[in-house]
Amino acid sequence: MANHLTPTELARESGLDRKDVIAKCIELGVPIFNGRIDKTLFLCSLREDPAGKEIQPTPAQA
């Protein structure tokens, strides 16, 4: 399974919108390299959001 995903793929897996994924990457300092985002780093950063916002990604539906 791929660990580096496009914002669209990561949005699908995390239950967020594509633009929210990109905004969160910028806000949390998660790098987007060559159009790909490290899924593990993104999800861990979401859980440890210092702003205290309760964003819980939902599992992807098949």
Write the pLDDT tens digit of every residue in 5-57: 999 999 998 899 999 999 999 999 999 999 999 999 999 998 887 665 555 55
Instruction: For 25-37, write each residue's pLDDT tens digit.
Output: 999 999 999 999 9
* In the predicted structure, residue 62 carries a pLDDT above the cut 60: no
In a domain, 62, yes or no: no
pTM of the model: 0.74
Q: Give me the number of domains the chain comprises.
A: 1
In a domain, 27, yes or no: yes
Judge contact between 5 and 37, C-beta under 8 A. Answer: yes
Judge contact between 11 and 21, C-beta under 8 A. Answer: yes
Judge contact between 62 and 13, C-beta under 8 A. Answer: no
In a domain, 54, yes or no: no
Amino acid 56 reads: Q
Range of the domain at 29: 4-47
In a domain, 17, yes or no: yes
